[in-house]
Amino acid sequence: MLASGSPRRRELLERSGLAIVVRTTDVDESIPAGEAPTDHARRLAVLKRRAVPVEPTEVILAADTIVEFGGEVMGKPEGPEQAAEMLRRLAGRTHRVHTAVSAARGTREAEILVTTEVTMDSLTEATIDWYVLGGEPLDKAGSYAIQGQAAAFVRSVNGSVSNVIGLPLVETFGMLEGIGVDLETLRCAPPGAPG
């Protein structure tokens, strides 16, 4: 059970061969004054997981990804102007992407936090305008998608690339196994496999 409406998380899990069901609810994602970015991500992942009803035998997974630059959370832009401003701030600099993941099966629960450092290349105003005009950054935290056109803007990644997309797969699978989930029982047959 994936407690997330993120198409990127769903795609990452499905490409890894897992059969999933998406079930989401709305949670208040506002940031209380003084809450650290990593604490914010952790709190939201747990809230999202707990907000979705599950059967005792079901495995539920929830996550929250944030982009942090200079101690500030850079959420999804409210429009093209804000997207362009975020990209200007990130250009030529290093920022952090934090993903908190919360999982449960019955009474067993686990949470992890994975941080990846991303260094962006310098960006010209023309490049920023082109990218924003295409619309890709408008629903992305930090105003970019590393798996999309913005891959050409990323100079280096220190850590999990799937974390930057929205779900650190290696760490998530390790956490699931740690609470007694047999991943093989969740896997679909590979494409083209005999039926």
Which residues are identified as catalytic?
A: 64
Chain mean position to CA 176: 17
AA letter at 69: F
**Burial (CB count within 10 angstroms: exposed 0-12, middle 13-18, buried 19+), residue 23:** middle
The 3 state secondary structure assigned to 57-125 is CCEEEEEEEEEEECCEEECCCCCHHHHHHHHHHHCCCEEEEEEEEEEEECCEEEEEEEEEEEEECCCCH
